[in-house]
Structure 1
C-alpha cells in the first residue's frame, strides 16, 4: 500500500486491491492471459464506517477472500480496485 487512496467508502462498503492473477501453475506451466482466473483474494485499502447497528469488521491492510464476481471494478490513478459490500467478503486470511 505504497500509495494513499483518496476515496472514502460509505456505509458498509470496502475498497479492495485484487491480488495479481497467477502466472504459473504449481507444476511450472505458464498460464496464458486468456486462461487466467479472476483473483479471489486481495488487500483491503479502505473501509467505510459500517451501518448504524453494524460497524465494519475489516480494516485497511487485511487480506481477504471474496466471491468470484463480487464487487464493482473501478480504476483510480491508474490502479484497479474493487468496491464491494462487506457482506461480499467471505473470510479474512491470517498472515
Structure 2
C-alpha cells in the first residue's frame, strides 16, 4: 500500500486512514456538520497505512500481525488526528489500540 500521507510512524505507533463519515443517513436525511464531526471522531474502522519499526513486537511470536492495506478496527477516540500531505485525514495511534483485523476485507 502506498503511503501518501507524508507521515511515517515511529516505534510502536501505527498510521491508519479512517473510513469516511457518511453525509446522508440511510434514510436519506442530510446530517448536520456537528453530527458528522462527532461521527468522524468516533469512527472505529480504518485501513492500516503504515507501521512503526517496533509495532506489534509485544504481541508475541505466534500472533497474527496486521499488514498495511488491511482493514482494522480500533478503539474509539484514540490517537492523534492529523491531515496528511495528500489532504486526507489520518490517525496515529499506539499498536495496542488496534482491536482486530477485519478478515476478508481489504482496501
Task: Give the alignment's TM-score, normalised by structure 2.
Answer: 0.72
* Mapping of residues 1-95 of structure 1, within 5 Å: 4-36=4-36, 37-38=39-40, 39-50=43-54, 53-54=57-58, 57-77=65-85, 78-94=87-103, 95=105
Report how far residue 53 of structure 1 moved: 5.0
CA contact (8 A) 2:55 2:95 kept: no
Q: CA RMSD in A?
A: 2.5
- Structure 1 unaligned regions, length at least 5: none
Residue 54 of structure 1: SS of its match in structure 2?
helix
CA contact (8 A) 1:12 1:51 kept: yes
Report how far residue 16 of structure 1 moved: 0.6
Count of residue pairs brought into register by the alignment? 95
Task: Give the alignment's TM-score, normalised by structure 1.
Answer: 0.79
1:35/1:14 CA distance change after superposition, 3 Å: same
Select the structure with the greater relative contact order (CA < 8 A; seq sep ≥ 6): 2
Inter-partner Cα distance in structure 1 for 2:83 and 2:7: 11
